[in-house]
Each structure stands twice: as structure tokens, then as C-alpha cells.
A and B are shown apart, each in its own frame.
Chain A
Amino acid sequence: MASKVLVVDDSAFMRNLLKQLLEGEHEVVGEAENGVEAVELYRELDPDVVTMDVVMPIRNGIEATSEIKTEDPGASVIMCTSVGQEEKMREAVEAGADGYITKPFQKPNVLQAIADVIQAEA
């Protein structure tokens, strides 16, 4: 079943790539390029899943995830990161991330990560 996805990444290229990967599988309802926009769009669009970049200007993905999770503990957030550091992963989990995928993305991994968080929510 198609889910509503909010894509958050400061890179226009990565947002475009994610939209292409999700095309025909899920509906991208919005795009944000920093953590502040992500929180605002989350409130406005109420997506099923958020794909959240970690390193972004203005407010990073871990801070934005923490705020979204505080407002809506049932939110599903997948961290999309090029950072493979164990400490950073722990920080993301503590902020409430439900899963993560590592850049560079492979389509099956992205779809599986979304399926996993949707299933866990159900």
C-alpha cells in the first residue's frame, strides 16, 4: 500500500533521487531542505513516513527528529545518512529514529526500510 512520504534533505539532487526511487511505490507529499522546514511540513502534511537527512544547515536531522517525535510519538522517521559512525547512529536512535538507510541508496533498501517502519507502526 502506498504511503505518504515527506522527504527531508538539503541536497536537491538527493531529494530528486529519492522521489525517483519512490515513484510508483509511494507518494511523496512534500520536500524540506532543513530541519526547521521538516517540522513545519510534518505538522502541515501529516505524512506516514519521513525520510530525514542527518547533516543539514539551520537545524540538523537528529534535532528535527527529536522535535517531531516529541510532538507525535507515533511518527515514523527513517534517517537517511552518509554517516556510518556508530556513535551517530546511537544519537539518531536516542532521538527516536525508527530506522536508517545509508547513502549511497539502493532502491530495495529504501523500500524495505519504509515497509519495516510501516509494519512496526501497524
Chain B
Amino acid sequence: MNLDVRSLRTFSRLAHSGAEKAAGSLTTLVGIDTYVNVTKVELGTKADVESEFSERDLVSVNIGFNGGLDGRTVLAFSPESAERLVESLMPGIDATDADGELAASSLKEVANIMLGGFIDGWADYLDTSIDITTPTYVAEGGDGPLEDVDPDGFEHEDETERILVFRNQLEAADDAIGFDLYMIPSPESIQTIVEASGDDGALPVESFAAFSEMISDGAAQASDDISAMTGIETDVEVSRLSFVPIEGVPMSLTDAVRRGVVLEFMGTPSGYIAILFDEPSAENIASSLLPGMEDDEAMRQSAIQEIGNIVTSGFLDGWANALETTIEISPPKHVHDIGSAIVDPLATDLAQSQEYAFLIDSTIRTDDDEFTCDIYALPDEAELRKALEQLAPAA
């Protein structure tokens, strides 16, 4: 199976267009203006997707599809969004009973209409027929969205298998309801889509998977370095490679305040990397590195910069060695702002030469969630393609 940046652009546009149809369906159904916030093509593992669902306590409706394309679509909402949606659909019923039969039935119907519209767009593009299965409602805390649910026959048993996920974030105009719309095609179906996009210079998908594994290895090294330096035992929770329109990059980050460092890296690939801690984690790090120096803010900032520097090296060294090249990094620049604002100038700089970006994100945290570190890397698209080409022969 082959993939290329050009195919990814086609995928992204198609997924975005499908999501807009789905948003339009909801607007028609309940009169709530809904728009597509960001569309991403992500390469991750089944475990990454499942982990996101369990962490955010998402409610979901799954629909399988088969025929011209095989796979699964999932419409996911927070329990609060599900309640608000049920209230809009059926005013007067007990909306807090979102797990109840009537509420579940209404959510399934919404998903049926929205996901049906989404899949129709793909069928039109491929000039084929795609059947969808009946929806399955998965309550908060239920089986993961990728578990094998009859009767769609969707199977991804290996937790570490790399899967391609089309992910669209939708929001109601008043921000009261948010959705995530996922589409996970089977490997054979990805090949079908690539062939339809007429991609000649495509790379084996294995080279993307190899790079994705390098990201996971880099994140593991960064986690080890944090543990060695601070004594705080951390693990990598999520590590993924996304393809996203450049204007969607800041929207992919939190609006909560983050503290950390931003560095530029130069080589093949070049780009930017941000190592961001939530505020309690930044304080924990500074305190563990500088016990008894709570009042020396300059030194505490220096400690955070240095750990950002070390984490960056741990993250990028594996890439450089695997690609048999050198990646230079700039001195770390301290940042303290909301997450999206930190990344916005980096995306703006890259936007001068590219419309889409590869966004690499990894999360390192402790079991008790007391410590969280997010790593975001934004490599230059053309240079990352060169790097992927280099990985292709070994794939």
C-alpha cells in the first residue's frame, strides 16, 4: 500500500467535505448551526484512539461500512454534548438520562444521518456504492469505539497496529455541542482511495509507519530522560502523526495555559518543536530539580528550559540516527501562554511555504495524571517527505 503527500491532501479535502455534509445534516435535523473546526488524517495505533476515548469519557455511535470501501465511522461526543443534543432533538424528555433507551435511540439516528452523509461523499468521489450497517451506541465507559461490534465485522485486533484515522472536529456555532467524527478505513480500502486519487509517486505506507514508530521511540526516550532527571516516573501515553491543514494546527492544541519551551530544528527534516507542560507539572519539575529554591524564578525557568532541551534531544536524536543525518537544534525559548497561541506563530511561519502540515504529537504523563508533558513537532512538509523517501527502501 502506498501513500503520498498528494494523496493525503486529497484525503484531507475529501474528509473535510464529508464532514461539512455531516454538519449540514445536523443543522437541518435540529436547527443548530454546526461547522467543521479541523480535519486531520492521523496515523496512530488502535490503542492511541481507544486511550483518547477512555480519557475523555466519550459517548459514541459506531457505524460500519462495506462495499466500495470497508471500515468504520464513529461519531463521538462528551456526555455533556450528548445531553444537550438530546435536549435539542426531543425537548421535554429527561436529557440527563442520556444513557436511556430513548436518548440512545435519538443519538443513533443523528449519527445515522450524519455518518451516512459523510460516507456518501466518499462513495460519490470513488464512483462506487458503499453500504452502511445499523448504528451501535456505546455509552460512556463502555467498550472502546474500535472493539469488534457485530455486525460490521470491523477488526483491528492488534493494539500496536498502525491505523489511518480521518478525524474531524465539529462544533455548534454556540460552542455548546462538540463532536468528533472518525473514519477508519481498512488497509485495502486505503489502497482503493490512493489508486482513485491517481497518485504516481506514492511512498509505501510502511515508510509512514516506520516514521510513526520513530516518533514513538523518540517519545519513549524523552520520557526516560524526564524520569532520570526529575525522579518522576513517566510513560508515553499517546504518540501520533497527523496531516492537517496548516490553519488547523493551532486548533489542534488546548486553549489552557501551558508553560515550556519552543525550539527550532534544522536538518532533514527542519521545523519547530514545542515541549509544553501544564502549570502544575511545570511547578513540579522546577521543584524536583531545585528543591528549596521556590523563590528563584529565574533559576526555575532555566530548569524548565533545560529539561525542554533534553527532552527535545531525546525526541530528535533517534530520527537523526535512523536517517543517518544531523539535526541541529536552537537554544530553547521559554514560553508561557495558552497552547494554541504558543503554536500559532510557528504554524504561521510554515504557512509561507506549505498549505498542510505534518503535526507530530506525543503525551508523556504519570499514572496519576499529576504530571503531563505534551510534545508537538511541526516539520517542514517537503523535508519530511525527503526523510520518508529515505525510509522507504528499508520498508
Contacts and interface: CB of A to CB of B under 8 A. Distances in A.
Q: Does B bind A?
A: yes
Interface of A: 10-14, 16-17, 55-57, 81-88, 91, 103-104, 106
B309 interface: yes
Contacts of B329: 55, 83
Interface stretch (B195-203, B238-246, B298-306, B345-353): B298-306
Contact residues of B: prevailing secondary structure: helix
Contacts of A82: 225, 309-310, 312-314
Nearest to A106: B228
B317 A56 contact: no
B330 A13 contact: no
B298 A104 contact: no
B89 interface: no
Nearest to B263: A55
Contacts of A84: 313-314, 317, 321
A13 B317 contact: no
Interface centre among B228, B289, B302, B312 (most CB of A within 10 A): B302
Contacts, number: 66
A81 B228 CA distance: 15
Nearest to A91: B326
Contacts of B313: 81-84, 103
Contacts of A16: 299
Contacts of B326: 85, 87-88, 91
Counting from the closest, the 9 A-B pairs by CB-CB distance are A82-B313, A13-B302, A104-B229, A87-B326, A13-B303, A84-B317, A12-B302, A85-B320, A82-B310
A102 to B, nearest CB: 9
Contacts of A55: 309, 328-331
B327 interface: yes
Interface in B281-304: 289-290, 298-299, 302-303
A85 B302 CA distance: 24
25 contacts: A11-B306, A13-B303, A13-B305, A13-B306, A14-B306, A17-B289, A57-B331, A81-B313, A82-B309, A82-B314, A83-B313, A84-B317, A84-B321, A85-B317, A86-B321, A87-B320, A87-B324, A88-B326, A91-B326, A103-B225, A103-B229, A104-B225, A104-B229, A104-B310, A106-B228
A56 B312 CA distance: 15
A13 B289 contact: yes
B390 interface: no
A75 to B, nearest CB: 24
B325 interface: yes
Contact of B317 (A10, A57, A83, A106): A83
Nearest to B324: A87
Nearest to A10: B331
A11 B309 contact: yes
B194 to A, nearest CB: 34
A85 B309 contact: no
A52 to B, nearest CB: 15
Q: Which residue, of A10, A11, A88, A106, has the highest number of chain B Cβ atoms within 10 A?
A: A11
